[in-house]
Amino acid sequence: MTKQSESIVDGQEEIGLSDVQVTNIQADQVTMEMSAAQNIQATDMVMNRSAAVQVDAQSVNLSNAVAGVVNAEYVDLQQAGAGLVRSASATLHQSSVGVVYGGTVELHDVETVMVIGREVHAPTIHTSLLLANKVEGNVETVLDTPRALLAGLTAGIAFGLVSVIGKIIRGRR
């Protein structure tokens, strides 16, 4: 039986939640087991078989969990899912993420739509778009940095030509 609570915003050092739904959490250390939350602010966040809409923390560890947006210095995902991960250092294992944006990104058997990072390390990664300064590993992308630049340049030229032709046609009338 899941219990519901509005908010836990008292800045406690440590909060452990099990089988509960909350709106807001603010604490130093948060541990969630089979629970759900909308907004979490913490120094250290651990989620196991849980869900959250927004997580803001120094360190985040998700295992068999899902989160909409994760903002943290360090992120570790194990068989987890997230819409957006923004982190200085992210390590993802057997997870699915919409967008990963970070300094150093390590990916192991991960499915993503977009990876943006200073350094990306991956034995094999499947992504639609990869933008990175340094890539180590076998990365399979639909669109990498050079192709993204070429696509942008091509789209810009096409838009410019259509605009010029449109002005010429309108000018003759």
Q: Is residue 157 part of a domain?
A: no
**pLDDT value at position 124?**
84
In a domain, 106, yes or no: yes
pLDDT at 170: 82
Tokens coding 16: 């452990």
Q: In this structure, are residues 108 and 122 in contact, taking their beta carbons and an 8 Å threshold?
A: yes
Q: Is residue 124 part of a domain?
A: yes
Residues 81/94, Cβ–Cβ less than 8 Å: no
- Percent of all residues in the chain with a pLDDT value above 70, rounded to a whole number: 90
The total number of structural domains in the chain stands at: 1
Is position 13 within any domain?
yes
Per-block mean pLDDT, blocks of 10 residues, the chain (173 long)? 60 84 92 94 96 96 96 97 96 95 94 92 85 87 75 88 85 68
**Has residue 150 been placed in a domain?**
no
- The verdict on residue 108 lying in a domain is yes
Three-state DSSP class for 156? helix
Report the amino acid identity of residue 72: A
Residue 12 C-beta-side C-alpha neighbours within 13 Å: 12
Residue 156 domain-assigned (yes or no): no
Is residue 154 in some structural domain? no
Give me the domain span that covers residue 87. 3-144
The mean of the pLDDT values for the chain is 89
State the pairing for strand pair 3-18/20-33: parallel
DSSP code at position 4: E
